[in-house]
Amino acid sequence: MSPAASGEWSADGAHLDARCVWIIDGGPSAPRRLPPSEPTCVIAVDRGLAHTLRLGLRPHVAVGDFDSVDAGMLARTRDEWPDLVVQRHHRHKAHSDLDLALSFAWGLDPTEIALASGAGGRLDHMMISVTMLARPRYAALPLVAYVGASVVRAATTGMTIALPSGDGNLLTLLAVGGAASVRTTGLRWNLTGSAPLLSAASLGLSNELTAPSAHLGVQAGTVLAIQTHGKPLP
């Protein structure tokens, strides 16, 4: 992608309530799993505008190049909610639509943020979208991602996060951007930090929660915690 160029911008976002921000991803499928909390601000990512409306949600922000959005739908949405913040970026830009939406949400200094994605579509898009959550400024956000049937959280150096069993009994820990040192509790095979979790290694694959909530502490590095409901491991 070439460097980003400015596009159409409307409203400044000063009126937005950032207590609980939802981002509705623009993948080919609508989200199958939604966050349990009520949103105070909904950011629709490109085709995510159609998903947002089908889910009966009111969009507060629309971000993207809108190559997958019907122009009439966008116009009708702006007519219904004149304070809709629209950030239209040129198609040939340096960042994905989701990256631009996450950056916008980051700038709101949200109290809570959730990403809802139906997953599916191109593998490269899916890989970038998930691993993007481990970027330093995004990993530090109070962010939970609902991706298909899985729930994803990022944690970086100095963070300890809870992993409730209600989000999935199977857990994979993936170090991103280099080796990580982690400690866990509440798992069938707990990691103690004695051996590093290497980037892209399978050591953290398919663990199992044995408590109502497991905990992940990151002493060094950045880790994605991916929870999925599945059969108990043999």
Quote the pLDDT of residue 132. 92
DSSP 45-58: ETTHHHHHHHTTPP
Do 24 and 55 form a contact (C-beta atoms < 8 A)?
Answer: yes
According to DSSP, the residues that pair with 42 across neighbouring strands are 22
Quote the pLDDT of residue 32. 86
AA letter at 21: V
Contacts of residue 227, defined as CB under 8 A and 6 or more positions apart, other chains included, come to 150, 151, 152, 163, 167, 168, 169, 170, 171, 209
Quote the pLDDT of residue 194. 82
- pTM passes above 0.95: no
Phi first, then psi, for residue 158 (nearest 5°) are 90, -5
Q: Average pLDDT by consecutive 10-residue portion of the chain (234 residues)?
A: 46 83 91 92 95 96 90 92 90 84 93 92 89 91 94 96 96 95 96 88 93 96 95 74
Tokens representing residue 152 in the block: 């994803």
